[in-house]
Amino acid sequence: MIELRVDGMTCDHCVSAVTRAVKAADPEADVRVDLETKRVRVEGRSSADDLERVLAEAGYPALPAGG
């Protein structure tokens, strides 16, 4: 499982956009977005680097959630 922090999420539209971006890169991924903590958990075949790239391209820069 990959967990990323996406500080730019502020609303349900952001949650949908982040989910769509991840699913576009990995359609079979299990994506769980927590708006309150601004965390995205992804279980799938994409690497953290790939997910960070697709989220940045969608306008939602992401960082590893650890720390």
For position 5, what pLDDT does the model report?
Answer: 97
The yes-or-no verdict on residue 66 having pLDDT over 80 is no
Is residue 49 very low, low, confident or very high in pLDDT (cuts 50, 70, 90)? Answer: very high
Q: What is the mean pLDDT of residues 48-60?
A: 97
27's CB contacts (< 8 A; 6+ apart) are none
At 66, list the tokens.
């650890």
CATH class assigned to 2-64: alpha beta
The yes-or-no verdict on residue 1 having pLDDT over 60 is yes
Q: What is the mean pLDDT of residues 19-36?
A: 96
Around Cβ 1, how many Cβ atoms within 10 Å?
Answer: 8
Q: By three-state DSSP, how is residue 1 classified?
A: coil
Longest pairwise C-alpha distance within the chain: 28
Question: What is the residue extent of each domain of the chain?
Answer: 2-64
| DSSP letters spanning 38-55 | TEEEEESS--HHHHHHHH
Q: What is the mean pLDDT of residues 26-51?
A: 96
